[in-house]
Amino acid sequence: MIYKVSFVVPGRRDVGGIQNIDREPRPGDRVRIGHQTFEVVEVTELMPPRGDFAYLHATCKPVEER
């Protein structure tokens, strides 16, 4: 399965976006978007799956990097 995922950081329209990934995102996952790391908070289905593709929406929050 290939996951077409929209990553959104509430209040930050300058980051996030849409990309295809191999692994289903889950809450707690860390994702690299642009030059920053974010934690997935919630994942919902945006559209029903078709063929080999799933369509998901992931809400994220910034992670403070040390």
Partner 1 sequence: MSDKEEFLRRLDLFNGLSDEELSSVAALCSKEHYKAGEIILNIKDPTKNFYLIRSGTVQIITNPEVLEAKPELADAVLVNLGQGQAFGEMGLVDRGARSATVRTASDTVVYAIDCDRFLELCNADTHLGFLVMRNIAADLSFKLRYRNLI
Judged by the rule CB under 8 A, the positions of this chain that interact with partner 1 are 2, 4, 6, 8, 12-20, 33-34, 46-47, 50-53, 55, 57
> Of 50 and 66, which CB lies nearer to partner 1 in the complex structure?
50
Minimum separation from the CB atom of position 28 to partner 1 (A): 21
Which letter, b or e, does each residue of 10-30 get, where b requires 16 or more Cβ atoms within 10 Å of its Cβ? eeeeeebeeeeeeeebeeeee
**Min dist. Cβ of residue 1 to partner 1 (A):** 11
- Provide the 10 A C-beta neighbour count for residue 55: 15
